Amino acid sequence: MSARDLLSWYDRCSRDLPWREDQDPYRVWISEIMLQQTRVETVIPYYRRFLERFPDVGALGKAPLDEVLSLWSGLGYYRRARQLHGAAKMVAQNGGDFPTTAAQLRELPGIGPYTAAAVASIAFGEVIPVIDGNVERVLARQLALGEDPRKISGRRKVIAGAAELLDNGRPGDSNQALMELGATVCTPRNPRCGECPLAGRCQALELDQVEMFPLPKTRKPAQRLRRRVALVLDGEKVLLFRRPQDSELLAGTWELPWVEADGKSARDSERELSLRYSGLWNLGPQVAEVRHSITFRSLRLEVHRAQISSQLTVADGPEAGWFAAEEILDLPTSSQVQKVLGAAGPGVAEQKNL
């Protein structure tokens, strides 16, 4: 079993994905950024829409950030989009020519070791292994690795194993083959070992302990938070506020007004809403409860119809605006906004503001 066996399997069995149509560095880069922590099935329509609007790095670099964030809306981890936009500006200023090595690519914002190696090997033929979660799993099983593949010693062994499977003539395809193998055959649960081109060299399979590898990582316990979300309407328009550009999460995106609710009365929440957003707030009855997870946070959102004084003036920091449903679809928002609006039901449009 060798790099040749892996490539032969890839040539026969790889999925037909839009970013594999050519080795254009811009397209490879966009796909790799989108695929970080996001499923392939989710990425495909976003990728196609993004490329239709921004067909090259120059178009992306010239675009307003708001438009980029809007097209990214729903993919989550918005920092990726902001860094993508910043990197596009840098490349466009360089005449549109991408750096050609992994080391040079890492100088661009948002490009770490994985993305740099992927773009360099697929688009420019650099012989360098790509290590993502799928590759970690394949190699941990091949080696029956008795240590965490994400820590220094284990990572070195995984990189060495991946390097052994690189074909110097087709390094990009070799890397994609390993990632494809992990995504479609050497899966976390119920791997199809009978279809694996590397089964003959898999030490975990020989031990009949495939699903024991890689060793489970220690998970950070979920932070459970309870929040009150204020749903304020004027006719058919909803009041949204924009997160500051320096927010730790979801910077620059639009959201419904909210405050933390644990241990606080509705009156407390009204005061906090006034302090955060200005205006005089009156929380009405709870109309929905929504569960939402983001990174390690597990949110319980209590959605209240709310009213504010007509003299609302936006406090220093956030921006505010009234938006109809079709306008919200074009804004950079998190999926949380759509969840809340969907859960509140069609009757929310009947509420009028004071």
Active centre residues (catalytic): 32
Which candidate, 182, 81, 94, 88, places its Cα nearest to that of 131? 182
Q: How far from the centroid of its chain's Cα atoms is residue 146's Cα?
A: 30
Nearest to 274 by CA among 340, 234, 230, 244: 230
Phi/psi at 27 (5° precision): -65, -40
Alpha-carbon distance of 189 to 212, in angstroms, equals 10
Q: Tell me if residue 286 falls in helix, strand or coil.
A: strand
- The contacts of residue 307 (CB under 8 Å, 6+ apart) are 232, 281, 282, 284, 351, 353, 354
Tell me which residue has tokens 């650099």.
Answer: 126
Helices 25-35 and 79-93 pack at an angle, to 10 degrees, of 160
Quote the DSSP letter at residue 41.
Answer: H
